A and B are shown apart, each in its own frame.
Chain A
Amino acid sequence: MKRSIVCRCEDISEEDVIHAIDEGYTDIEELRKKLRIGMGPCQGRVCIQIVARILEKKTGKKVATTPLPTVRPPIIPVSLGTLASENDEK
C-alpha cells in the first residue's frame, strides 16, 4: 500500500491527517495534539506547512492565516549532558 508521509518523525501519513480533519480536528494545535505532528526531532519544520496545506484543501482555511503552532525551544535537539555542563550549579 502506498502512503504519502507527512510527518517523518512520528510516521503520520496524508490519510491520517485527512482522517483527523474529517473527525473534526480542524485547528492546527488540535491536529498536533491528536497526531503528534511537530512533536518529533524536526519540531514541525518538515510537516507543519504540509498539514496547513491539507487543512486549506479540506476546510478552506488559508495557509497564510493559519497560525503556526507555538515554538518550543530549543530550536535543535541538545543533549542533557551538554545542557547540564555549562557552569557549576549555584
Chain B
Amino acid sequence: MKSKADVVIIGGGVNGCSLAYKLAKKGLDVVVVEKKYLSSGATGACGAGIRQQWSTRENALLAIKSVKMFEQLSRELGQDIEFRQGGYLIAVHDEKEMEQAEKNVAMQRSLGLKVDILKPEEITNVVPILDVQGMKAIGATFCPTDGHANPFRTTFAYADAARSHGAEINTHTTVMNLKTAKKAIRTVITDKGPIQTNVVVNAAGIDSKAIAEMVHIHLPLTPMRKEIMATERLQPLFEAMVISFKDGVYFSQQKEGQIVGGIPIPEEKGGYKTMPTFRFLEHMSRTLTRYAPMLKHVNLLRHWTGFYDVTPDARPILGEVKGIKGFLQCNGFSGHGFMISPMVTELLTDLIVEGKTSEVLQNLTLDRFKDNNIEKELSVVG
C-alpha cells in the first residue's frame, strides 16, 4: 500500500469509486480504502433506481445532471453498466398528495425535465400489470427518462477505470484513525499502515459518522435498516419503476428479469441491526400483490437488508467541513446515493482539483444544520 497520496477516499461504494476515477483521470494520486469489498455497503444493497423526480431543487438538479452522465457512462468506462430508461411511475393516492405532486412537477419542469401527470386510466398504459383500484391511485406522475443501472457493474467499472488511471484501491483495509496538525488533515492510519495526505474524503456510508468522530466532527446521520427482495426471473413485463410515497413501496423489473422491490416496516426504528425480518416479507408481498395481483404466482427468491444513512433533511452532506482543512464529506445520501453519484463526484472533483465550489455544493455542506438552513426532501421512498 502507498504511504503517501494526494487524496485518500474512505469507502469503496459507488461514490468512492466514481470519485477515485475522476480524480485519477485529472492526474491526482488517489488511494481508496475499503473495509470490506467494493460495493459491500449501501451501493450493493440498493434498489438500482435512478430518479429525477424530487421535491427539492438540489436533489432534482443533481439527479437530472447525473442522468445525462449515466447516458454516456457505459461508453466512457468501456463496460456495460446496464443503464436503461424505463421511467419512474409515482402513484398519487389523494388530493393532498396530488397538490404536492403538482408543485414538484412544476419545479422539475422549470429545470427542463419532461414529467407528465397521468390520469388513473393512463397508468396501465405505462405499467400494464398494475391494478389501479387495488393500489388506490387517483393518478400518477411519470418521467420517461428516469431508469435503472446495475450498481455492482457501475461500481466495478468505475474501480477498473480508476485503477487504469493509476488509483490504488485497497479492499479489506480498515481506517483506524485520522491525524490532524494545525487544523488540517495530515495522516490516515489504517490497519495496513499510515498514509500521508492533505485531503480525505469521507464516503463510508453509515460508518461515515464514526470516521468523522475521529477528528471530533459530529455528523447528524442515523442508520436506517431497509429491507428489499428479489423474485425469480420472468419474461419482460414492464419497464418503469413503480413507487408510492404513501405506501413507501417501490418495485421494478431488472434486466435479468427478476422483480426487485422494497417497503419500510411501519414500526422500524434506527440502528445497526442487519437481520432480515418475516414482517417485511408479509408486508411487501401483500402490498406488491395488491398493486399487481398477477404477481401472486411468482416466487420470491431472497431478501436482504441494507442501510440508508439518513440526515435530518434527507439530503446528502457534501464538501469541506469548517475547522478541518482537507476533510471532505460525501455521505448522508438518505437512500439515493447511487442515482446522484455521477454529479456528486463531479462537483467534488471540481472542488478538490480547482477549488471550485457551486451553489448546490454550498447548500449541502454540514453547516446548513448549524444555521438551521434546511429544506426537507419530501420525495423519499423505501
* Bound-state Cα–Cα, A78 to B38, Å: 30
CB < 8 Å neighbour of A33 from B44, B160, B289, B300: B44
* Bound-state Cα–Cα, A78 to B37, Å: 30
CB < 8 Å neighbour of B231 from A34, A73, A80, A89: A80
Closest A residue to B293 by beta carbon equals A81
Q: Contact string, B280-303, partner A, CB cutoff 8 A, digits 1/0? A: 011111101100000111111111
A80 in contact with B298 (CB, 8 Å)? yes
A29 at the interface (CB under 8 A from B): yes
A88, chain B: closest CB distance, angstroms = 9
Given A39-B302, A77-B299: A29 in contact with B40 (beta carbons within 8 A): yes
* Bound-state Cα–Cα, A39 to B230, Å: 9
A53 at the interface (CB under 8 A from B): no
Closest A residue to B277 by beta carbon equals A73
Closest B residue to A77 by beta carbon equals B299
Q: Contact string, B315-358, partner A, CB cutoff 8 A, digits 1/0? A: 00000000000000000000000000000000000000000000
A30 in contact with B37 (CB, 8 Å)? yes
Q: Contact string, A28-43, partner B, CB cutoff 8 A, digits 1/0? A: 0110011010011101
A4 at the interface (CB under 8 A from B): no
Closest A residue to B288 by beta carbon equals A80
CB < 8 Å neighbour of A73 from B40, B156, B276: B276
Closest B residue to A27 by beta carbon equals B37
A80 in contact with B300 (CB, 8 Å)? yes
* Bound-state Cα–Cα, A70 to B304, Å: 9
B285 in contact with A80 (CB, 8 Å)? yes
Residues in B21-56 with C-beta less than 8 Å from chain A:
36-40, 44
A84 in contact with B286 (CB, 8 Å)? yes
* Bound-state Cα–Cα, A31 to B233, Å: 20
A83 in contact with B301 (CB, 8 Å)? no
A81 in contact with B296 (CB, 8 Å)? yes
B232 in contact with A33 (CB, 8 Å)? no
Interface band, chain B? 35 or more
CB-CB under 8 A from A2, the residues of chain B are none
Given A29-B37, A33-B152: A78 in contact with B304 (beta carbons within 8 A): no
Chain A count of residues within 8 A CB distance of the other chain: 25
Residues in B154-191 with C-beta less than 8 Å from chain A:
156, 160, 171-172
Given A29-B40, A36-B256, A70-B304: A83 in contact with B298 (beta carbons within 8 A): no
Given A43-B302, A72-B302, A78-B299: A83 in contact with B39 (beta carbons within 8 A): no
* Bound-state Cα–Cα, A34 to B84, Å: 19
* Bound-state Cα–Cα, A23 to B156, Å: 11
A72 in contact with B304 (CB, 8 Å)? yes
A74 at the interface (CB under 8 A from B): yes
CB < 8 Å neighbour of B303 from A23, A73, A84: A73
* Bound-state Cα–Cα, A36 to B256, Å: 10
A81 in contact with B300 (CB, 8 Å)? no
CB-CB under 8 A from B276, the residues of chain A are 72-73
A65 at the interface (CB under 8 A from B): no
Given A84-B282, A84-B289, A89-B286: A79 in contact with B297 (beta carbons within 8 A): yes
B270, chain A: closest CB distance, angstroms = 22
Given A29-B37, A30-B38, A33-B152: A81 in contact with B304 (beta carbons within 8 A): no
B88, chain A: closest CB distance, angstroms = 22
B302 in contact with A74 (CB, 8 Å)? yes
A68, chain B: closest CB distance, angstroms = 14
* Bound-state Cα–Cα, A8 to B281, Å: 26
CB < 8 Å neighbour of B296 from A29, A79, A86: A79
A59, chain B: closest CB distance, angstroms = 14
Q: What would 11 more interface pairs be, CB under 8 Å, given A43-B302, A80-B288, A84-B289?
A: A23-B160, A29-B36, A41-B301, A70-B304, A72-B301, A77-B232, A80-B289, A84-B282, A84-B286, A84-B288, A86-B282
Across chains A and B, which 10 residue pairs bring their CB atoms closest together, nearest first?
A: A81-B296, A72-B302, A77-B299, A83-B285, A84-B285, A33-B152, A80-B285, A27-B37, A84-B286, A84-B289
6 contacts between A and B (CB under 8 A): A72-B276, A72-B303, A77-B301, A78-B300, A83-B281, A89-B286
